[in-house]
Structure 1
Amino acid sequence: MTDQTKHSVRALFAQWKSEHEDLNQRIDAFREWTYSVSQMGVPKFGEAACKLKQFRKQLTHHFDREDQMGRQLADAYPAGSAEVAASRDQASQDHQELLVELDSLVERLGQLEPPFESWQIAMREVGLFIDRLDEHEEYEGEHIDWLAPEDDVE
């Protein structure tokens, strides 16, 4: 791997980590908001749908960045590393499934009469989605750390 390629891949990893931290902050803020709504006792399904729709935009951007990283890793490891290809394929499939699930949540939360028995049940479903997203990001983080180019030892 050339020094220029290493530098490019390192920069992409740093950007991914920054975006990952931002995603976590947004998730934490959403969880705090849902908790405060629960404490007030007045469900805000429509507002939850709007917040998740905004989150989807950022998540889509993050997934696009990960796809770009996958392509760059494939270029950086020209021998066609099976690990890179398998990780990239799994990530792509996960991204599609997560976005479909998020779209379903947004659609149902945004209905005039949401199909949930209660706010708590709706937020439990959102929590399950967030748990799956966290698992996906942890899995990717482990693979990204493993594939990241190390600094040359002199």
Structure 2
Amino acid sequence: MGMKYQYKMKRPEESVKKSHEHLQYLLDEHEQILSHIKDLNQWWAELDEHGMPKYGEMGTRMEGLRDLLSKHFNDEEQEGYFKPLMDEEPGFCIMVPDFQKQHKEFLTRLDDFSNRLKQPEPPFHNWNEALLELQRLLAELRINENREIERVREAFEESSLPND
């Protein structure tokens, strides 16, 4: 009986099912981040219309985004994200360090941006300059997120194929 149970645990469908649950979780987080980006853009557009710069509040909002991202990046980098894939797609591991490096750089840039926004005299010529930097960061983040999620989806799809 014990043996049989152990054998059952090792069946590949189990690990695929688990990895799919994890993928769903990451995809949900991913959606959350994209909708957070959308909210930020909207808030920004409204402020812009009223011509009311709010550097400090924006800095705070950037920190909120950073916390969300930092958690998401961690979840992505945890073995939970890649482990089931690596077991099945050894080639996939090459991408992980790449993600981690990108994640680190991005968080550093967000921190830098928030810090400058929160200074008593923010070092921007004007609100528009800060706006452009935000838009660049958000656009890059969106591209980056979508690229990662695509790669993960592909790997999961490949790993779901019956290998005979």
Structure 1 length-normalised TM: 0.90
Name which of structure 1's ranges 19-28 and 131-140 shifts more when overlaid on structure 2: 131-140
1:81 matched to 2:93: no
Query: Matched residue pairs, number?
Result: 149
Identity %: 24
1:9 matched to 2:14: no
1:44 matched to 2:42: no
Which consecutive unaligned segments of at least 5 residues does structure 2 have? 1-10
1:104 matched to 2:112: yes
Which consecutive unaligned segments of at least 5 residues does structure 1 have? none
Question: Secondary structure in 1 aligned to 2:160?
Answer: coil
Question: Secondary structure in 2 aligned to 1:117?
Answer: coil
Q: Is the 8 A contact 1:87 1:143 kept in 2?
A: no
Q: Is the 8 A contact 2:16 2:84 kept in 1?
A: no
User: CA-atom RMSD, angstroms?
Assistant: 1.7
Equivalent residue, structure 1, for 2:142? 134
Task: Quote the offset at 1:151 in angstroms.
Answer: 6.2
Q: Which amino acid aligns with 1:86?
A: I
Q: Is the 8 A contact 1:116 1:122 kept in 2?
A: yes
Larger radius of gyration between Structure 1 and Structure 2: 2
Task: Quote the offset at 1:21 in angstroms.
Answer: 0.5
Question: Secondary structure in 2 aligned to 1:122?
Answer: helix
Structure 2 length-normalised TM: 0.85
Which portions of structure 1, spanning 4 or more consecutive aligned residues, are displaced by more than 3 angstroms?
Answer: none
Question: Secondary structure in 2 aligned to 1:41?
Answer: coil
Name which of structure 1's ranges 24-33 and 123-132 shifts more when overlaid on structure 2: 123-132
| Distance in 1 of aligned mates of 2:53 and 2:17 | 48
